[in-house]
Structure 1
Amino acid sequence: MTRALRAGRRATPAGLALLGTACSASFGMPRGATEQGADIFRLWQIFFIAAIPVAGVVYGLIFWSVIRYRRRRSEDPDALGSQFRGNHRLELVYMGIPVLIVIGLFAASATVEVRVDRVSPHPDVVVNVEAYRWGWRFTYPGRDVTIVSPPSGEFVAGPQMVLPIGQTTRIVLTANDVIHAFWVPDFLYKHDAIPGRTFVFDLTPTRAGTFYGECAEFCGLNHAYMTFSVRVVQPTEFTLWLAQMRAGQAAA
């Protein structure tokens, strides 16, 4: 067995271990608190893992070139370095590999985009989200529940949308004045709200908790006040919350 083969056999387990670690690493990205966000997170992992060997090759060649072809003290400072002719085979390789990488990343992106944009024909919950300057209105149609932002001009807690964990929620997003954007960082999802247009997408929460949201499109003077939160609870708690909200709003 040659020295190269022995080195390769020793390096293979280490490489597989490193790859396994990379596949479980977040690389600075939230893991996504919805099924849709989890798909986006996995796409982020694919891109980051693909970038590691690319960066390694590029920076490795840069450092190798700097060291290998540096001017020695014994050489004439005005001398022209060795000139090389083109290598068509090498040129095809370093052109073909990036093209294949881009095609693979494009295919992965298109697949995830189709999955994330797919809407269920029978969602468990529907929430109409209306963005306006400078607040939000969350309406649960057929359930007589509406949550509205407090008057703008004061930096106070925004309205809270409540969703059941593990169930598909249909978001119907609109804007009634200027362009806004519905963004929940932990969901890894942002969607513009454009006057005159209605956007529909699904969210399927997978983790209970309270998640911060905001308008991510500058929309005027009090843009910074357009915050909200999403609280994800168990389905039984969600049903109880709906009943309490309906009773409270009916009494008001």
Structure 2
Amino acid sequence: MRRTLRVALLGVTMLVLAGCSEADKHQIKNLAMPDRATEQGPYTYELWKWAWVAAMITGLIVWGLIFYAVVKFRRRSDDEVPRQTRYNLPLEVFYTIAPVLMCVVFFFHTVRVQDVMTELDKQPDVTVEVTGQQWSWTFNHGVGEQNPDATGEDGDYAYDSYVYTSGDGNEIPTLVLPVDQRIQFNLRSPDVIHNFGVPSFLTRMDVIPGRVNKLQVTPTVEGTYAGKCYELCGVYHSRMLFQVEVVSQADYDAYLEELDAAGQTSDKPLTGGANVETQTGLAEDDNQEGSEE
């Protein structure tokens, strides 16, 4: 009987694995996480991976104890019902202390990774002013020399002039970034809370009205990545998408020149409200026009 069950289990396992596509196998290998495209990404992935390992070890121990108790102490026809109030002090101490120790370890490593992901270099290579607004994004790229001491608040911006790109209800914007450069995002919102995130960067941050949140990443792999808002921000939240293109430094410089030639320039970054047109095409009928507020 046992041999038959083993053969059946092996057959089902092989059948399931044979039905997986290459993409599925890649997802399984990555534990359902995207490929890491930044210098900071592996820290998040390692935390995720070892959390899975800890969870599986805990599961195996618990399942093992359950099956051991079921088999070892199963009731037989001539057995009396065992006492239901008996205590096992060592076992109770174990299952009280062990979860506490696990939480302490998880907390320690989570804080360690959080510190890495939120660390701010005083002199980032590039600073991008990001505005999240109902319901799209505006990206302001600085032109010229960067002031490393700028705070990004109250008009104290890192550059003397900017070029920008913004999205609307019909077209999502594209955020172009240079590879192997430490990028700082200054995140602003003029209306409600949004959340700026790129899955392949394995990090994200809230965009909160009335304050400037700062996030730094170092893209390491050229390519095109999807970005979106992770915070439910209103009826058209699902349209708050953007695309990220990580390119070489030469291509990045050429992109800034294209925006400048197209007249998409400003003395200061567009920070939302009437300064940013993001609702074009969102009117539900001909009598309801999109607003710039």
Structure 1 length-normalised TM: 0.80
The aligned residue for residue 119 of structure 2 is 118
Q: What pairs up with 1:138-149 in 2 under 5 angstroms?
A: 138-141=139-142, 142=159, 144-149=162-167
Instruction: Report whether the alignment pairs 1:45 with 2:49.
Output: yes
Q: Say whether residues 1:86 and 2:123 are aligned partners.
A: no
For the 8 Å contact 1:178–1:219, the answer to whether it is kept is yes
1:113-134 per-residue CA deviation (whole Å, 9 max, x = no partner) reads 1111101111111111101111
Q: Is the 8 A contact 1:31 1:38 kept in 2?
A: no
In the TM superposition, what is the alpha-carbon distance from 1:48 to its structure 2 partner?
A: 1.1
| C-alpha distance in 1 between matches for 2:186 and 2:204 | 13
Q: Which amino acid aligns with 2:238?
A: A
SS of equivalent to 2:221: coil
| Correspondence 1:34 to 2:38 | yes
In 2, Cα distance between the equivalents of 1:43 and 1:236? Answer: 35
- SS, match of residue 252 in structure 2: helix
Q: CA deviation at 1:146?
A: 0.2
Q: Find the residue that maps to 1:35 and give its secondary structure.
A: coil
1:135-186 deviations in Å (ceiling 9; x for gaps): 1110013353101113x2x4x4x10001111110000001001111112111
Rate the CA distance shift 1:87–1:147 in 2: closer, same or farther, 3 A.
Answer: same
Contact 1:184 1:190 in 2 (8 A): yes
Distance change in 2, residues 1:221/1:87 (3 Å): closer
Q: For 1:120, give the aligned amino acid.
A: D
Q: Give the % identical residues.
A: 36
For 2:70, the aligned partner's letter is V
Q: Which one-letter code corresponds to 2:228 in the other structure?
A: E
Distance 1:98 1:31 in 2: 31
Displacement of 1:109:
0.8
1:189 aligned partner, one-letter code:
T
Counterpart of 2:263 in structure 1 is 249
Shift of 1:93: 2.7
Deviation, 1:89, is: 2.7
In structure 2, give the amino acid aligned to 1:238: Y
CA distance in 1 between partners of 2:85 and 2:264 (Å): 83
Task: Indicate the residue corresponding to 2:273 in structure 1.
Answer: none
Matched, 1:217 2:231: yes
How far the C-alpha of 1:43 sits from its partner, in A, is: 0.9
Residues 1:186 and 2:204 are matched in the alignment: no
Query: 2 CA distance for matches of 1:75 and 1:242?
Result: 85
Q: Which residue of 2 aligns with 1:10?
A: none
Is structure 2 residue 77 aligned with structure 1 residue 59? Answer: no
- Does the aligned pair in 1 maintain the 2:179–2:221 contact within 8 Å? yes
Query: Would you say the 8 A contact 2:163–2:264 is kept in 1?
Result: no
AA paired with 1:172? N
Aligned-residue offset at 1:60 = 1.3
- Consecutive unaligned residues of structure 1, counting only runs of 5 or more, are 1-23
Moved over 3 A (4+): 82-85
SS of 2:262's equivalent?
A: helix
Amino acid at match of 2:131: E
Kept after mapping to 1: 8 A contact 2:137/2:173 = yes
Secondary structure of 1:238's partner? Answer: helix
Secondary structure of 1:144's aligned partner? strand
1:5 corresponding residue in structure 2? none
Equivalent in the alignment of 1:105 = 106
The whole-number CA distance in structure 2 between the counterparts of 1:96 and 1:221 is 46
Q: Please say which of residues 39-48 and 29-38 is displaced more in the overlay.
A: 29-38
1:173 pairs with 2:196:
no
* Count of aligned pairs between the two proteins: 221
